Amino acid sequence: MLLPATRSIALAILVLAGQPAWAGDDCDAPPETWQPRGAVRALAERKGWHIDKLKIDDGCYEIKGRDAEDRRFKAKLDPATLEVVRMKHEHRERERKHDRISTKPGEHE
């Protein structure tokens, strides 16, 4: 028979071990409600996005590409509604280019 403390620890391990399985899913739309990839491409075109890569990740459509201002981005879309669930822009590349252009050799900031 397990001691109460051992039971509590075992239960905690089971709960924590089960979390990653459902914690990473950003979208949970049933497959029969998903819009086709063509609809994702049409949405991207309306927004002025250029798609470099379109895939499915964590139950969402994931787009990697460039926005209308030519900034790199990664977006996750709900596959049923095509609503943007999460979006990140990459700023580092532009900042490095700006630093190289605006800083002359021998100058210090």
pTM of the predicted model, to two decimals?
A: 0.62
Spell out the domain ranges in the chain: 27-102
Task: Report pLDDT digits (tens) over 26-71.
Answer: 899 999 999 999 999 999 999 999 999 999 999 999 999 999 999 9
Letter string b/e over residues 33-66, b meaning 16 or more CB atoms within 10 A of that residue's CB: ebbeeeebeebbeeeebeeeeeeeeebbbbbebb
Tell me the pLDDT band of 98, cut-offs 50, 70 and 90.
Answer: low
pLDDT of residue 94: 53
Tell me the pLDDT band of 106, cut-offs 50, 70 and 90.
Answer: low
| Fold type of domain 27-102 | Nuclear Transport Factor 2; Chain: A, (3.10.450)
pLDDT of residue 19: 43
